[in-house]
Structure 1
Amino acid sequence: MRALTWQGKHDVRVETVPDPEIVNPRDAILKVTSTAICGSDLHLYDGVIPGMMSGDILGHEFMGEVVEAGPKSTLKKGQRVVVPFTISCGKCFFCEKQLYSACDNSNPADKQDLTEPLYGHALSALFGYSHLTGGYPGGQAEYVRVPFSDVGPIVIPDGLEDDKVLFLSDILPTGWMAAENADIEEGDVVAVWGCGPVGLFAIQSALAMGAGKVIAIDEYPTRLDLARKLGAEVIDFKQTHVLEALMEMSGGFGPDAVIDAVGMEAHGFAPDTILDNIKQNVGMGADSAHALREAILAVRKGGRISIPGVYGGFLDKFPLGAVMEKGVQIRTGQTHVQKYLKELLHKIGEGEIDTTFLISHRLPLEEAARGYENFRYKQNEWTKVVLKPGTEATA
């Protein structure tokens, strides 16, 4: 089959690799019909996530048709399913508490040894996201093996095309959980850093949960315009002093809740960002966290901080004093995708949530490298890229 493989920093290639096979009785094999490039994939593309090996198959946002199912899978041949990016057994202590992204059994024992010393506990597994999270081949491919297929995938009813449901795999539930973690109350002022895919869905979700005002912070005009169309007020951080603007827009209190949808590769020319980026480029530090620092300073006393943005290692200049003295709460974590699938699929089916507004480009799988490059360097025009395996490459 053809699949997108990671070969090094800013080097991804579509190559011919072996077809996946059933390994365990709960496995299923999918023929991938749609897969997307996620902002988190850019961390791999930029080489800031450790544990990648040459030839690893990328991709954790995908859906497709079941072509083979193991004897203990609940799926049937021919079903269309969306697959969560989190791989979860469904039976461990954490899965039974619906903390699916903390699954204790999905990451193989030999991989757990890579993360336990760094994080205190072993990470659970994710598709296509380094050997720290299991080394499972991802879904930017023609076919993919889905472990624990009786737990993760959700069957899609007829009449809902791929574009409407693909983002159930990650970014829609991630944005929803980000808003949920912010404990939004009716009429709250909520500020969201980053108007990429997760940030936009967090804005959409916060408004659906009753926020009175959502303020979106970014630098790209197209993204800010998308946020504005969703109902947010916007701040261009290149043109405006963010903290001063947020105080004014929140009546002098600061936002009730803040959401960092940027994560470990914050950009810009703030002094702390420049220092973080230098350290990141020379291997002295892992995370650039200007957005998180700013969010902590902005949130009102007694407020809530939600962090859906990905962080992988250590960061310095962390304003812990502000966290403690202001009495704020912080909630974060990889998304417990399976927890939200039925509710969000229902909302899509009823027309309460639209996801298609985000898609700017659809490309054949063979053009995935071009998709990555443009998604990385032309973020104003390339807001979301969907790859379609089996379609013809353009001239």
Structure 2
Amino acid sequence: MIRTVRRTLAGAALAALAVGMVAAANPASAQTPTTGLRAACSVAGPGEARCLAEYRSTGRMQRNAVHADATPDGFGAKDLRAAYGLPAKGGTGTVAIVDAYGYPTAEKDLAIYRKQYGLPACTVKSGCLRIVNQRGKTSPLPEPDSGWGVESALDLQMASAACPSCKLLLVQGDDASLDALGTSVDTAVKLGASVVSNSYGTDEFNGMADYAHYYTHKGVPITVSSGDDGFVAAAFPAVLPATIAVGGTSLKKAKNARGWKESAWSGAGSGCSAYLDKPSWQKDRNCSMRTVADVSAVADPDTGVAVYDTYELGEDAGWLVVGGTSAASPFVAGVIALAGHPSTVTPKRLYGEPKAFHDAVGGSNGYCGGDYLCTGVKGYDGPTGLGTPKGITPFQ
């Protein structure tokens, strides 16, 4: 239930505590950016959302490298599939990506990425890739925007990495308004999306009830990035109980049985809602309201993912290293589609299978006295939720 007037004392107090304690602890020091790191999108205005991708260029020598011995910086598709134990085959559904504005080089850039990592071609002509406006039409597409172009490139390529055989549907909102983005989600579902990824957000607000219907579609999982500002106010639309809120980790190679290790990324969004009642399936003890996040995946831009984007980035055009929970949401959406049973995947079901995830332990996204709401602890925690995909097991 969305409470637009009265908040429970505990939930409101914890939400206020999250903002106040993080500010007092100087969150910027906990989220020191990599040199040259840029936010793809500027701060959102009232009634708008901001895309959450953060990127840096990788140098002129790599920008046009597309051959067998080229090694772009950042984790590639093969790295990610190895890190999360994903099977080589599977997934026949459609992963929908919802973003704002146009991205004219989407098909060309996607082709470069997929060729680089040995993924099958996915083109408009073959029907594998569809690009439409928020009304579901292929023309006219919205006015282009280079910042949201980075976001769209990241989203398409992370979904490709997780599920190479899935079809892709890019729905472009007319702008970054909550109405345009929400309408785009509805359009994605109407066009047959198996799962819909949303890598944008804004702070939760009084009046979310007016937009919640866009993100409630029975039988179609909706993944949403949890945010990149650490332990602060919960982010909308990730905070909605109908969505799967995807937090972020720092992923690194390791000399262990898995070959990889993960901890909470310092920028991963987490928080205790000030407006939304706690869902019956969420049992964490120190937040009486809805807690973000639910699950997580790679997000740290310090060790980010490789993305190819050439749309109006000037000297930065080509191979980028990109991070943010914007990487995690489309990747998890792709894994859900890869598992082959998206219509059965709900937040409630995921909480019934906590041992099916890699537990990300260590790291923090702010100050909360070491509490799980901002610290990567054993079991559930705010920054990483239940954990990261352990193969397709959590979503079968």
TM-score under structure 2 length normalisation: 0.28
Larger RCO (CA within 8 A; separation ≥ 6)? 2
Q: From the two aligned structures, give the one with the greater helix fraction.
A: 1
Larger radius of gyration: 1
State TM-score, norm by structure 1. Answer: 0.28
